[in-house]
Amino acid sequence: MITLRKHVLPSILALVLLSTSACTSGVAAGIPSAGIPSGGTPSGTPSKSGGGTSQSAAPAESASPSAAVPQLTPASTVDARTVLAAFKSRDMVGHLQALQRVADANGGNRASGTPGYEESARYVEEQLRAAGYEPVRQSFTFKEDGRRGKTVETFNILAETGGSAGHTVVVGAHLDSVEDGPGINDNGSGVAAILETAKWMKEKGITPVNRVVFAFWGAEENDLDGSRHYVNELSKAGKEQTAAYLNVDMAASPNGVRSFHDGDGSDFGDAGPKGSDGIEAVFERYFKENSLPAETTPFEDGDSDYDPFLRAGIPGGGLFTGEEKKKTKAQVQAYGGVAGKVLDSCYHKACDTVSNINADLFKEMSGAMAYATATYAMAKTG
């Protein structure tokens, strides 16, 4: 998944600064139609994701659509402190426990193309339907890594709100695990964060001005296949009308940090497409208003589901709590934890279970995703 490279805020007193840049947002012109059944389930058999400058995840030659992406000004319809308080009392861990039970009953994993993935998908769909959404499956195939890798059928799950299709905000997390473990932090935590964001918006009666597409990607762990398929299926107009992509990939690392992507490139030298700076600023605001130290992390080429969006010129950003990097002493000052220990010692391992999480960090990061989603859902043009 995403790799943390550089600690930006070394002290617990060094809170994130609110960017003066205007925030942007948007939404795709509806869910891509190719490969998606008309109902909530597919017809036929169900189908089955420190220091130094990062490499650009959005090459200039592929970023032309950003010039046409509608620029949005976030509306202050939600209060960051209120959102955090709400998410501290939500049953976030309940989703992780459910996904753990799925893995336990299916050979210890939830990898794309397996019964564990199918059962995970049914859980997500049930949760979405109960909240009032109409999820659909977007089918695709992928080839497993290796010269003799077999072709596997799988799918993304997509659920949308009302609102302007000309200003679409896509909010995504990968649903699949690796074959070696249940994938509870990576990325059951991201799935839970988006599920609770979708449920919270319904409960609060938030009626989006801009369409939000909640996306649960398949085959991310193979090669970002699900999110790449989604972007590839968008028409030129669909890409131009997708104003923002918000990603969450690992939100509960046991020795983790609070980080969000360096959209303007000011910390790592590689900015996302035009509008990514606004996404960064929204996350900055959430952490600052809640007096939570946080730091930026670079976009890493091919490292998570933001990559296909950035390559298509779509503004992107998101959240990450860390995996294989070791925690520094400065980070311990800011976040607590253990210096010299990796942020998630169970990354891509069988021990990535429901006991491998930081529940408080998980709720804080989930609140950040809900805040950003609601802000962009209500953003205005101009």
CB atoms under 10 Å from CB of 88, counted, come to: 14
Give how far Cα 21 sits from Cα of 73, 174, 243, 277, 281, Å. Answer: 10, 29, 16, 7, 7
Choice among 160, 220, 240, 295 that is catalytic:
220
Per-residue burial over 159-178, b = 16 or more CB atoms within 10 Å of its CB, e = otherwise = bbbebbbbbbbbbbbbbbbb
User: In this structure, are residues 118 and 154 in contact, taking their beta carbons and an 8 Å threshold?
Assistant: no
User: In this structure, are residues 16 and 202 in contact, taking their beta carbons and an 8 Å threshold?
Assistant: no
Side-chain half-sphere exposure of 228, counting CA atoms within 13 A = 15
Chain position carrying tokens 């802000």: 375
Give how far Cα 111 sits from Cα of 91, 125, 215, 229, 382, Å. Answer: 25, 17, 17, 17, 42
Q: Burial-class residue 146 by CB neighbours within 10 Å (0-12, 13-18, 19+).
A: exposed
Per-residue burial over 117-142, b = 16 or more CB atoms within 10 Å of its CB, e = otherwise = bbbbbebbbebbeebebebbbbbbbb
Q: Burial-class residue 326 by CB neighbours within 10 Å (0-12, 13-18, 19+).
A: middle
User: In this structure, are residues 161 and 94 in contact, taking their beta carbons and an 8 Å threshold?
Assistant: no
Helix, coil or strand: residue 260? strand
Q: Among this protein's residues, is 220 annotated catalytic?
A: yes
Amino acid at 172: G
User: In this structure, are residues 177 and 34 in contact, taking their beta carbons and an 8 Å threshold?
Assistant: no
φ and ψ of 169, to 5 deg: -110, 120
Q: Estimate to the nearest angstrom the gap between the alpha carbon of 61 and the chain centroid.
A: 25
- The helix or strand, by DSSP H or E, that contains position 276, with its residue range, turns out to be helix 276-289
d(CA 298, CA 382): 28
**Among all residues, which ones are annotated catalytic?**
220
